[in-house]
Amino acid sequence: MDERKFNQAFEKINANQNLKNAAKSGNIDDVLKNLSPDQASMLNKILSDKKATEEILSSPQAAAIMKALFGNK
């Protein structure tokens, strides 16, 4: 995945309280409606690709997002 795009997505999630709340709820539809059509398409593509999902979830940025969303749980 393009590192620049991933970092932009991280910044958008970090800055958008509605998106944070949607991610915390665990409802993907709530997350998708807070994204642009291009971002929603990219997220759906990533989530449907197991290797891409694992790669992203193992990144430092994903760890920071999860920590921001869920704390130390």
Domain boundaries, the chain: 3-68
The span from the CA of 24 to the CA of 28, in Å, is: 10
Tokens of 10: 């991280």
- Arithmetic mean of pLDDT, 10-33: 70
Q: What is the pTM of this model?
A: 0.49
- Other Cβ atoms within 10 Å of 63 Cβ, number: 11
* pLDDT tier for residue 59 given thresholds of 50, 70 and 90: confident
Q: Is 23 exposed, middle or buried (0-12, 13-18, 19+ CB in 10 A)?
A: buried
- Whole-Å CA distances, 11 to 5, 15, 16, 51: 10, 6, 9, 23
The pLDDT of residue 33 is above 70: yes
